[in-house]
Each structure stands twice: as structure tokens, then as C-alpha cells.
Chains A and B, each alone.
Chain A
Amino acid sequence: MLSMQLTLFHPLKSRSAMSTVLGMLIFIGVLFTCVMPFFLYINEVNSLYDQTIIEMKQFDRERDMEDLAVYAYPINQSSSQIRLYIKNRCPLTVEIVRIWINDQYFSCDMQIFGMGENTTDPIDIQSMLSQVQEVEDFQAKVTTARGNMFSSLTNPLQYSNTSGWSGGQSFAINIVIELSPGVYDFNIRVDNSNGTTIYTEEIWVVFENSIMRKVDVSGPDTYYVEITQTHGHLDKTSTTNVQITLEESTKWIYLQYPDDFV
């Protein structure tokens, strides 16, 4: 009986024991509900920071990878409309957000898949052409969503009130073929005066209004350009001799399919 009494009332004899236990529980509570979540939170925020750095590095790397070849061309010799043929030379999908013609920009929403190509809708620059007094240069460039800018390889396009479009800085033959939407297979061949073929390309066209190719040539010479459309029953060909001189280094060839093909 005495031992039972001792056992029952022993804790009450040491009153601080229960308080110590409570204090310890509160300490552990503080540790688990305040201090540890604090460190976990700090860790999480640091992870967010590290993740952002990795994302931005990836973003910058993708930006550096972007590579476009842009060719601006008037739809025909005297047209007020310009199209841009853009070839994506990188594996990433590139989004074009703006097209600049001189100091005026035109919003655009066009995606070009990796190593793909696309042609923009015609851009009307009649308001700019109406201000031209004799001759004026036009510079075209595009801006991508990743913040890159690519100038047209046909810059500067030169417009004259009397003779229409011309221009280009390098020795080149710019070929523009206008066509009604459909499926075509064009074969372009360019020979120099020695009969050596300097350029060949087969182009499949699916529901496009026009195609444009820039053929870089080595220098002044007379070049033979042969374009054959082979899709369908009958092949149709257009041939032209193009003279490149030091004075006129870039020549534009405008062809209409099928009118200019026999």
C-alpha cells in the first residue's frame, strides 16, 4: 500500500519534471513548425533561383542557335507589295514577331519549324513608295521572339519611280516565280558562260503564291538560267540569259507560271 502511494504521488513530488517535459515538447514543436520549415523554405527558394539560372542559360543558348536566311523580294517589278522568303537554318522552331521595312514595322505571327522554310504574306508598302522621289533604298529585316534580328540578304532593295525594283549588293541572280496555288516541282539550273553548272535546285511548291531564290554568282559574266516545272503530264521550261556586270551586280528575274514557260 505504501509502495503504491509512493508510485502514484512520486511525480508530484518533483513538480519541475512535468514542466520540463512540456518545455521540451514546446521546444521540439518550435523546431518542427518554425525552424525546420524555415530552412526547407530557404532551400526551395534557392532551388528556384538555380532553376531560373539554368532556364535563362538555356534560353540564351537557344537564342544563339537561331539562324535564318531572309530574302525580301517585291512580288513583281513594279509591285508595292513585298514578301519575305525565310529559311530556318537551325533545328529550333523560330517565331517571327516583326518585319521591318526601313523605319516602319509590321507585326507578324509566323512560326518556321527547324530547318524549314516559309514565305510571309505580302506586305503593302504603298505609303512608303508614294514618298519616293526618284530612287530610294529599302532595308528589310525580321525580329524573332527570342530577340534576334536578321537582315534580308537581298538588301538593299532599290525602288525607282521610273524602272521599279532593282538592287542588291552582291553578285547574284534573284529569281521570283509567281504562280497560282497548287503543287509544282521546279528545277532551277544556272550555268556560266563556260557551260559549267554553278547552281541546281529542285523545289517542291505546295500551295504557295510565289517562290524566290537567290543564286550567288562569282562575278560579271553572262549566265544561262533554266527553270523547268516537271510536276504533271508536260514539262514546261523557261530559259533566260542574264548578264551580270560591275555596274549592275544583282539582277532580278520575274517569271509567271505558266505564262512565261513553254
Chain B
Amino acid sequence: MRIPSDVKALTPVVATIILCGVVLIVGISVWSFTYSITRGLEDDYYQGVKRQIDAISERFIVEHVSYDNQTSVLNVWVFNYGKVDIQVDVYVRGDAEGQNATGISISHGQIERIIVPLVANVGDELSITVISRRQNAVYATYVVPSS
């Protein structure tokens, strides 16, 4: 069999194709890696900012407090008037102490009665702190009435 005289011309073409192929493979890998990394960073960043947005969107108040001396329970009504759902714990300090740290969930626009078991006497001054799981806090004071 006779070898064509211009067979050498094929070598540079094949080499070029291989080189381009390698560049494409490496390039696509780099693109894919960069794409996934940036998507991950975007998601992490969004989640971080979303947490901050939720924290600054929280709004709640202690709307009402009452003490039931028959059951020795302090009822704390917390109104979530903000734009996000919250989870809160209630701590009572002062002349009597007690807490409810079960993380009561309150949907936005809703009111929830939170029960704090404690023994208090008439005239006791209580300091009530309601802390959300996003670390926002509201405070209220209450003096146990005579009846």
C-alpha cells in the first residue's frame, strides 16, 4: 500500500483538535465549578441576609398580663404584630420568678397566651421579659393586684 505524500498535514489538525478539546473540557469544568460555587455563595448570602431581614421585621408586644392566684399561673398575652412568625420565651424576675422557655410559636398578626407557673403574692412587682429566638426582646412590668 502506498502512503499518500501529504499524510503529515493531518498531524497538526489532529493536534489542534485535541488541544481545543482539552481547552474546552478544562474550560467547561472551570465554568461548572465556578457556577456551582457562586450559586452556593449566593444561597448562603441570601440565607444570611434573610435571617437579618426576619430579625429586623419582628415586632411584638406584651399586650396583657394577669395572675391567677388559684392556679398560681401568670398569663402573658403576646401579640405578634410584625411581618414574620416568631418563637418566644418568657422570663419573669422580681419579687417572684418563673419562666416558660418552650419557644411558643406565634404567627404574624396573632396573639398567644403564654403560661408561666409561679407563686406570687398581692403587691409583688414582676419584671417580664419576652425574648424571641431571633434575640429581640420586649419588656413589661406587672404588679399583682388584690383580686
Contact = CB atoms under 8 A, between A and B. Distances in A.
A98 interface: yes
Contacts of A49: 49, 52-53
Given A52-B57, A53-B56, A100-B64, A33 B31 contact: yes
A181 to B, nearest CB: 33
Interface residues of A, number: 37
A interface majority secondary structure: helix
B74 to A, nearest CB: 12
B28 A26 contact: yes
B11 to A, nearest CB: 10
Interface stretch (B34-42, B88-96, B124-132): B34-42
Nearest to B60: A147
Nearest to A102: B66
Interface in A11-30: 12-13, 15-16, 18-19, 22-23, 25-27, 29-30
Contacts of A12: 12-13, 16
Contacts of B34: 30, 34-35
B31 A30 contact: yes
A143 interface: yes
Contacts of B59: 56, 59, 147
Contact of B64 (A26, A34, A38, A105): A105
B111 to A, nearest CB: 7
Contacts of A59: 59
Contact of B38 (A27, A37, A45): A37
A149 B27 contact: no
Contacts of B66: 103
Interface string A29-45: 11001110110011001
Contacts of A22: 20, 23-24, 27
A48 interface: yes
Contacts of A56: 56-57, 59
Contacts of A33: 31, 35
Contacts of A41: 42, 45-46
Interface of B: 12-13, 15-16, 19-20, 22-24, 27-28, 30-31, 34-35, 37-38, 41-42, 45-46, 49, 52-53, 56-57, 59-61, 63-64, 66, 75, 77, 79, 81, 109, 111
15 contacts: A12-B12, A12-B16, A19-B19, A26-B30, A26-B31, A45-B46, A53-B56, A56-B59, A105-B77, A105-B111, A143-B63, A145-B109, A147-B81, A149-B61, A149-B63
